[in-house]
Structure 1
Amino acid sequence: MSTSVSTRRDKRSLDYAIRSGLAGGLAGCVAKTAVAPLDRVKILFQASNPDFQKYAGSWSGAYRAGLAIYKDGGVRGLLQGHSATLLRIFPSAAIRFMAYDLWRPMLMPTQSHETNSRRFAAGALAGMTSVTFTYPLELVRVRMAFNSRIGDKGGRPSFLRAMTHIYHESANSTLPSSSTSTTKHVFERVPLLNFYRGFTVTMVGMIPYAGTAFLTWDILRAHFYPITNDKSKRPNLVANLAIGAISGALSQTVSYPFEVVRRRMQVGGLTHPDRWLGWGETFRAVYASGGWRGFFVGLSIGYLKIIPMTGISFAVWQGGKRVLGV
């Protein structure tokens, strides 16, 4: 029955989009939960948290960093910031997958229109659509994960406390200068802008990340599992996991330097609360601290995280769509 329903359902309809979005949101939550401890360690490395720089640069360092977090805060320490992650990831993944299922038929209405450039564009547009609506939640998550001193100022940062700090950080700054007074004045008048630190680099970085992920997913699926009505020739769970994992590895590689810069800009309100860190300054700071290798710090743990996460998310998305009849 589900097959006939899926066949009849219009891929451009709102009903199809909502069902695809629900499947995508669930997929994102399952995948993110599976790799939450690795995600926190990676953020600490990327943002150059001073308490964890001694662990960066090796596979064993990720393990030792995770062990240090566990000794300091237990399982809750490893999952610090995960509440914000789940609040962000469900709408983020839901919008991304839903947008992809909307953009794809618009750009490729027939098989003759299926080119690699259009596949890349559909994925990039889906990622950019998602970021536009959910970026403030991403920033709150990073701030919560970045904080490594549990005992400071009343304990572990809550979601509400992190939001409040971000909202007021420019007004609370005691480091005004003539070169930054204009920017600081804008932040004081429009404090909501604080929730968009690093937004531009995130948006630009999303183009190669989401574009490459969906491009690879589409190419591999089309190559190994061409469209057919024969159920035995459709990709199973293991195949979807493998294709999703490869997609994640490639997308992570091409977009990682943007991610490092984005993390630095996102925590800029903590390291430079008096002003907004720009692209140029952040790039120079990353290069000065580690050369070209600085743009790939934490990439090894990024692979450990992104490969299973992307594989799980794509596989659960496909499974959820089947359950929901799309």
Structure 2
Amino acid sequence: MPNNASNHPQTHEPLAMTPSAPSTTTNRLHPPDNSADVALPSSAYQSKIPKQSLDYALRSGLAGGIAACAAKTIVAPLDRVKILFQASNPQFQKYTGSWSGAIAAIRDIYKADGARGLFRGHSATLLRIFPYGGIKFLAYEQVRAVVIKGKEQETSGRRFVAGSLAGCLSVFATYPLEVIRVRLAWETRSSKRVGVRQICKVIYNEHPPQATTRASVLQQSNVPRAAAVTAEATSAAITAITPSHGLSNFFRGFTPTLWGMIPYAGASFLTHDAAGDMMRLPLLAPYSILPLSERSQKQLAPNKPPPLRAWAELTTGALAGFVSQTLSYPLEVIRRRMQVGGVVGDGHRLTMAEVGRSIIREKGYKGFYVGLSIGYVKVVPMVATSFYVYERLKIVFGI
């Protein structure tokens, strides 16, 4: 989720290139004590890499992947507890609904499996999150350059669309790894350690109920034999043309994931960009913008708004995570339930509507927000970290 400071340089005037030609934008964005700073000569600036080039795409993708891994590692224990709550794991249902319950769940996991238990499934998380983060950041940079070509197109709607498209593209590429990660985190049996290979075999070989079940029920209900045979043949035909196991099992919950990604990624990028704009307002600029004297040569590149201080960068990320999590959380709960559908119950693959009705029957509308408090605690440091690391790595990589 790239910082607004580096994604749309067209919204700000270039910084002063020489002391004799001061920029009005520099005076507006920086505190008075910075106005006396002397900008570096143009020969000190790094050459700008074209955004549509392969070099830029590779560098932004690598920076995004590393940033995503760093963020996920920080919140891995909370992420595992949240998945257990969302998926209604029977062993941890007694802990849901309170902060003390989340702490108790972490304590029980630690007692049973040690620190390794808190990070169960994290290796699969990193395998997924690196390409996911890389593709998302890379896609946002590229999609944004197409959707927003000038200052007059810098609107909230276009920012939202660019973020949503980037999120959807990343999900398409990495969803099976997400299913594996969730199943590893959901697994709580301590008799033997379950690895990635075993989980993949289990998911691949899971089958829904047999097609003859419906015909048997019809016969038991005194339905004429001809009708029962017809129903059985119809059910078998549907089963034959509908993927019921194998690779399709790795896409359980894919539809709600896409629906959830639209508000999540869109609101995340939109909020972050808007928060970045707010941090650069004249009222906050003296406190939020990094002074010229503290910037490296790469941070003084022309046609780029001034970088934010660390606290401001982290704050914009935290706001983005809070807003996006709130809007998309109900769909995230539905997605988790669908992803573990082969573990609980009879393996019947429920639709989004069926899962939603099931949640309402069990817990009412509050069931859509189970684990949301943990989600907030997780998202704030996670998204803030990803923003911060990504922006700093962009400086290191010269983009």
TM-score, structure 1 normalization: 0.92
Q: In the alignment, which residue of structure 1 is the partner of 2:259? A: 204
- 1:294 maps to 2:367: yes
- 1:253 maps to 2:312: no
What is the CA distance between 1:324 and its match in structure 2?
Answer: 0.3
What is the CA distance between 1:238 and its match in structure 2?
Answer: 2.1
Partner SS, residue 248 of structure 1? helix
What is the CA distance between 1:3 and its match in structure 2?
Answer: 7.9
For this pair of structures, how many residues does the alignment match? 321
- 1:177 maps to 2:216: no
From 312, 315, 334, the counterpart of 1:242: 315
Q: Is the 8 A contact 1:62 1:301 kept in 2?
A: yes
What is the CA distance between 1:178 and its match in structure 2?
Answer: 2.8
1:1-326 aligned at under 5 Å gives the runs 4-5=45-46, 8-151=48-191, 155-170=192-207, 177-178=213-214, 185-186=240-241, 191-225=246-280, 231=292, 233-326=306-399
Q: Distance in 2 between matches of 1:26 and 1:284?
A: 39
Q: Deviations over 1:216-245 (max 9, x none)?
A: 011111232379997464212221111101
Q: Distance in 2 between matches of 1:189 and 1:259?
A: 23
Q: Distance in 2 between matches of 1:230 and 1:308?
A: 25
| Misfit runs of 4+, over 4 Å | 173-176, 179-190, 226-233
Q: Deviations over 1:32-66 (max 9, x none)?
A: 00000000000000000000010000111110000
Compared CA separation, residues 259 and 181, structure 1 to 2 (3 A): farther
**Two-structure CA RMSD over aligned residues (Å):** 2.4
Compared CA separation, residues 34 and 102, structure 1 to 2 (3 A): same
Gaps in structure 1 of 5+ consecutive residues: none
Partner SS, residue 268 of structure 1? coil
Q: Distance in 2 between matches of 1:266 and 1:126?
A: 22
Q: Is the 8 A contact 1:170 1:188 kept in 2?
A: no
Percent pairwise identity: 49
Q: In the alignment, which residue of structure 1 is the partner of 2:10? A: none
Q: Is the 8 A contact 1:212 1:247 kept in 2?
A: yes
Q: Distance in 2 between matches of 1:264 and 1:316?
A: 32
Q: Distance in 2 between matches of 1:159 and 1:28?
A: 21
Q: Distance in 2 between matches of 1:176 and 1:275?
A: 14
Q: Which moved more, 1:269-278 or 1:186-195?
A: 186-195
AA partner of residue 160 (structure 1) = R
Q: Deviations over 1:71-125 (max 9, x none)?
A: 1110111001101100000000000011000111110011221100000001100
Q: Distance in 1 between matches of 2:244 and 2:88?
A: 30
What is the CA distance between 1:260 and its match in structure 2?
Answer: 0.3
